[in-house]
Structure 1
Amino acid sequence: MNQFQQARNQVLNQIKNACDYARRDPATVRLLAVSKTHPSQSLREMYQLGQQCFGENYLQEALDKIEELKDLDIEWHFIGHVQRNKTKQLAEKFDWVHGVDRLIIAERLSSQRLDTQSPLNLCIQVNIDAQDSKDGCQPDEVAELVEKISQLPHIRLRGIMVIPAPDHSQAFIDAKELFEQVKPQH
């Protein structure tokens, strides 16, 4: 068993244990492998082991990998902060974008998504615990963003994304409550 298979199996086992604890079907959870800085050949090996979803946060590195691995049916996720000047490539090349924190970014992604593509899956990034070093909208801005982004024609709003401070378990509770508050709007 190689290092990728061993690491993947360990994470899948942790997911199964968490699902058992939460009384949730593990089949409803998908593992997103963060593949930044790993070469394309490593992703190819992971794909052959069954990993289909890969997350990147460096756009140019991701675009190179997408081109090199276009023969594989990979679901590509962009997990970095989205800059206005990068939206066209994100809209055209990715299946998911996790770091949207402003309406203008979502509007650009929607308008730049090709009509032949399925809607772009999008998560709103929320700075759940007001860290100065983190990107994301404020929790009190989420409801309005959900309302407006939900109306965009080439976007499928899928949820919120948070990166809480280490050892800040309250942030997960806050994020869940925020999600439940805005879920009926979508």
Structure 2
Amino acid sequence: MKLREVFCGAMMLFSVISCHDEPIPKPKAKIRLEYPQGKLAELETNNFSFKYNQLAKPEVNSENAFTIAYPEMKGAIFLSYKKVDHNLDQLIKDSKRLSYEHAAKADNIVEQPFVNPKDKVYGALFEVQGNAASQSQFFVTDSTEHFLTGSVYFYTKPNYDSILPAAAYLQNDIRGIIETLKWKD
């Protein structure tokens, strides 16, 4: 009986010693954020119409200012409309200036031109990479009467790595707005 107790004790001691691995630090985990693909709804104003993600909540702030809110993401796309009155160059210049004001905090700004001659929609999308206040901005115009600008903002301190999935999602929605935009006469 004693031999058996000694054997069991030795086996227990051996298993404890041999199964003990050196601790290995684990990498920091990252949350994988996935957002549902929403259906499209139409927003119509006196000057233009476009399709937007139905998961968002459009708000009319004034006759020429709109917000497309994404409460789940704590973010929004802010839109501002202006009539072109022999001031197109200045409107484009101001829009680009506002986009490049984020350069101080941004790692990079990628300008993507947009041209749709069929619907007379011309403009640019600015993807701002880095810890800037706005991750995306754009302007579109028909070059004679209409000018629309938009910006993405989140209701949180900018941390590019944390908001990147939401920023990419809203940037895709901005592309959808630009691609479905129709001016009214």
Please tell me the TM-score bracket, short chain as reference: under 0.3
Task: Give the greater-gyration-radius structure (CA).
Answer: 2
TM-score by length of 1: 0.26
* Structure (1/2) with the larger strand percentage: 2
| Higher relative helix content | 1
